[in-house]
Amino acid sequence: MSLLVVCDHDRGSLADASLEALTFAHPLARAAGLEMAAVVIGEGAEIAGQGLGAYGAHIVHTASHPLLTDFGPEAWGETVAQLMISTGASALLACGTDRGNEVVAQAAARLDLPFVANCRSVDPTGDQWSMTRVQWGGSLLEDIDLTAEIRLMTVAHHAVEAKVAEAPAAGSLVSFSPELGEETVHTVVADRVVLTKGVTLSTAPVVVGGGRGVGSAEAFAPLEELAAELNGVVGCSRAVTNNGWRPHSDQVGQTGTRIAPDIYIASGISGAIQHWVGAMAAKNILAINTDSEANMVSRAGHAVIGDLHQVIPAITQEIRRRKG
Ligand SMILES: Cc1cc2nc3c(=O)[nH]c(=O)nc-3n(C[C@H](O)[C@H](O)[C@H](O)COP(=O)(O)OP(=O)(O)OC[C@H]3O[C@@H](n4cnc5c(N)ncnc54)[C@H](O)[C@@H]3O)c2cc1C
């Protein structure tokens, strides 16, 4: 009996979220007395599947088929459903990214099984698995008892930090050829434009965030400079995207990106709950705000009460001075 983990990748380049899923799944599989296996689907699967033994995967199924190229939720969901049946897996887990949730939902519909999305914790020791899942972007936690015998779930993105297993497993690659017809493949990626190259908002170790207090699109230039000095990226609040100062891909929060950097510098951001849920996984937060009562200031580990237009350039200048 196994717990199957769906690992997402982009043409052979494994998504960090997949490593989070494996990290979460490994102790869970052990507590449930299951062997952990992984599945990587489509073009580049064999490259992406290398090294997953270090995260505790005994077997890595690499699924290939002429119709499985880039991401397609129905074809990927159908592939996972067929693999679950052929291996007799008793649990399925993916990271709760848009893609992870979509694939598991597709598999759940095909297998006619319930699916619990965005779990933060799962206790498999009783007859029913007890889970806590995140709702409404993190502002509500729900406790669930899952009575189904085959358990399908995703782990909330950034709920755990990816780390290799204490005892690595074989990670043997085993190919799998699903039976897919044209009728299964409704949505296929035909073309794509990579908006962010290199470090992205969700994986950046440093994020310099700006809110309404920044004042204009042009006034983000000093934030860009500071981010560049720290090898980080710029993020923003929804007030900023609503004003058209930055693209939506820069937005942090419930309706934007969840970030988990080592440090989040939140400047001119009040810290509304919808913003906070996207930022709360940051390991350290430095708030820069003129209002000492702002939510972001109360929640941050460090704060500077002052005008960001003076504070941000001063930090950049000091970093440059120290770098010599
Ligand atoms: C369904 C829904 C979803 C939402 N999703 C998101 C989301 O994903 N992300 C998000 O961010 N918001 C989201 N919001 C909006 C959210 O509720 C807030 O309105 C928004 O986060 C406020 O942005 P802000 O902090 O930049 O602006 P404000 O709340 O106006 O705060 C501006 C801050 O800047 C400070 N300030 C002003 N001038 C300066 C200065 N010179 N120097 C330093 N500080 C200064 C002020 O003291 C204030 O604290 C959502 C709202 C809803 C209803």
d(CA 195, CA 301): 32
pLDDT, position 193 = 75
Q: Indicate if the pLDDT at residue 324 is higher than 90.
A: no
- Whether 235 lines ligand 1, by a CB cut-off of 6 Å, is no
Average pLDDT across the chain, whole number: 94
Task: Give percent above pLDDT 70 in the chain.
Answer: 99
As given in the structure block, the two tokens for residue 157 are 């993105």
What SS3 class is residue 59?
strand
- Most confident option among 68-77, 136-145, 284-293: 284-293
Quickly state the pLDDT bin for 40 (edges 50, 70, 90): very high
The identity of residue 62, as a single letter, is T
The answer to whether 2-184 and 206-323 have equal CATH topology is: yes
Q: Indicate if the pLDDT at residue 197 is higher than 70.
A: no
As given in the structure block, the two tokens for residue 226 are 């500071």
Q: What is the DSSP letter of 299?
A: H
* pTM of the complete model: 0.73
As given in the structure block, the two tokens for residue 295 are 């939510």
CA of 279 to the centre of ligand 1 (A): 13
- Whether 290 lines ligand 1, by a CB cut-off of 6 Å, is yes
Q: Which fold has domain 2-184?
A: Rossmann fold (3.40.50)
pLDDT per residue as tens digits for the range 294-323:
999 999 999 999 999 999 999 999 999 999
Contacts of 191 by beta carbon, 8 Å cutoff, 6+ apart:
none
- Give 112: exposed, middle or buried? Use CB within 10 Å, 0-12, 13-18, 19+: exposed
Quickly state the pLDDT bin for 138 (edges 50, 70, 90): confident
CA of 209 to the centre of ligand 1 (A): 11
Quickly state the pLDDT bin for 195 (edges 50, 70, 90): low
| Closest of 243, 178, 254 to residue 215, by C-alpha | 243
Q: Where are the domains of the chain?
A: 2-184, 206-323
Which CATH code is given to the segment(s) 206-323? 3.40.50.1220
Average confidence (pLDDT) over 227-237: 96
As given in the structure block, the two tokens for residue 307 are 């005008």
| Closest of 205, 212, 207 to residue 237, by C-alpha | 212
Pocket test for ligand 1, best of 135, 216, 254 (most atoms within 8 A of CB): 254
- Whether 253 lines ligand 1, by a CB cut-off of 6 Å, is yes
As given in the structure block, the two tokens for residue 50 are 């290398």
